[in-house]
Amino acid sequence: MSTPTIQDHQAIDTDEDPQLAAERELARQVDAMLDNGSLGGTAAQFAQPRGADLLRRTEPVEAWHKARSADGLWQYARSLDGAPHPIASIRDEAGNGARGINFASQDYLSLASHPQVADAAARALREAGPHSAGSAVLLGNTRTSLALEEAIAGLVATEHVALFPTGWGAAFGAITALVQAQDHIVIDQFAHASLRQGASAATPNVSINRHLDVGHVRELLGAIRARDTAHGILVVTEGLFSMDSDTPDLAALQAVCHEFGATLLVDVAHDLGAMGPGGGGCIAQQGMLGRIDLVMGAFSKSFASNGGFVATASRSVKRHLQLYAGPHMFSNALSPVQSAVILECIQIIRSDEGDALRADLMRNVDGLRAHLAAEGLHCMGIPSAIVPVLIGSEKVSRLTGKLLFEQSVFVNQVEFPGVPVGASRLRLQLMSNHNMQQIKRAAPIIGQTVARARDAIAAGEARRRQ
């Protein structure tokens, strides 16, 4: 028998079962990724660089990014061509483009593409121009922003509302304005970075409660009050947790706060508008509208805009926020276009059409969760526009994210600092305008891709141990 030539080898390769060839190619890529470190490490390693040169000491994180990016494993800073529709064109940071099913945008009620919202924006642009020309305390308010304050007060049944240019600013501004250094904060371990960073900036007296654990909050409050009855305590939680899609028992939490003379702040960024009767979010769902001390929210998920608010029953609290919350006092107010867009969204959210949009959204949510469960995937939390799929290993979720992008299914792959190290997940976000066909098409791709990524990483690591 003659020795095979190079040409014979090529013939053998082309005859290979395409699926086997794809797995062989994936194994080759995984080996290369494991060798060059692009699957390893987490952003936690680079968070606190050391050295005297503030600029040069950032270089290690860029080297790590470069390795990941070269292997298609950098999930951040992708860009969208056009509006955040369920079918969208996306480009990654390295410039690779794809068009496919989009579970990575936050526009829960699809109001960013609602014609009434577009008209409201165009009208405001014509009538008041594109920007606010001042902070909210220095002539940055407009007729529309004042109407928006009233509309938010109606939506959350809490009389006094201060607006902020971002949800981030509302969270950080409210906490740092209300809490002094001698006061205390008790905050859920999975609270959003804006709340955690606000807490750290306000006081060194920060206690972290186990996620959703009201008993633990009670314990912490009891311990604080046993040694300090002279200072204030702020308890901080979310209506719907942004990475876990779960919700605390708000009535129990508010009762415990009052028992110990503490104040409760609930961040409703993800649930207000998209959930609950009349779009009142988890607070309305739990029958607590108008009964929470401080309600803070963002307009960036269900209100087709940027911006945030804090609502309170107290006129003096609003006055205090106006004077001492930095992002309210010292940052330009929401633009007239933003205010008009949010106002229009609230009108839709509180109408029959709002009920229909929430019903469409929940039909999609229930459908996606059921189809992912059928693929053997665990969806965390309660049904909401956020569907987190716990993966754990950053390596597996990174590879899954890359392979899904290549198959035109777009999800956000989340890891530290979004979630703790080792608790990586895929975060899918739904919109009213998704349809069941897209969901049915995507779910098996997601299920098979997670399994394929897990197997490929396990096999690659086993080869390295040999």
Contact residues for ligand PLP, defined by CB under 6 A:
166-168, 171, 192, 194, 238, 242, 267, 269-270, 298, 300, 306, 308
CB of 238: closest distance to ligand PLP in angstroms?
Answer: 5
Q: Is 428 helix (H, G, I), strand (E, B) or coil?
A: strand
CA-closest candidate to residue 447, choices 379, 348, 353: 379
Q: How far is the CB of 385 from ligand PLP (least distance, A)?
A: 12
- Cis peptide preceding 417, ω within 30 of 0: yes
DSSP character string of 60-97:
HHHHHHHHHHHTT---SS-EEESS--SEEEEE-TTS-E
Q: Please, which residue, 171 or 348, has the CB nearer to ligand PLP? A: 171
CB-side exposure of 361: number of CA atoms within 13 Å? Answer: 31
What Rg, from alpha-carbon coordinates, does the chain have? 25
Please, what is the minimum distance in Å from the beta carbon of residue 426 to ligand PLP?
17
Task: Considering the complex, state which of residue 301 and residue 402 has its C-beta at the smaller distance from ligand PLP.
Answer: 301
Smaller CB distance to ligand PLP: residue 135 or 166? 166
**Nearest distance in Å: CB 115, ligand PLP:** 24
Closest-CB residue for ligand PLP? 167
Which DSSP state fits 164?
A: E
DSSP structure class, residue 42 = -
Region of 281 on the Ramachandran plot (φ > 0 left; ψ -120 to 50 alpha; else beta): left
CB of 171 to ligand PLP, least distance (A): 5
Residue 90 bridge partners (DSSP): 80, 98
Torsion on CA atoms 43, 47, 53, 54, rounded to nearest 10 = 110
Q: Report the phi/psi class of residue 167: left, alpha or beta, with left for phi > 0 and alpha for psi in -120 to 50.
A: alpha
Specify the residue, 141 or 194, whose C-beta has the smaller distance to ligand PLP: 194
Q: Is 65 or 270 the residue whose CB approaches ligand PLP more closely?
A: 270
In this complex, which beta carbon is closest to ligand PLP, that of residue 282 or of residue 399? 282
Nearer to ligand PLP, 266 or 396 (CB): 266
CB 338, min distance to ligand PLP, A: 11
Shortest approach of ligand PLP to residue 177 CB, angstroms?
A: 16
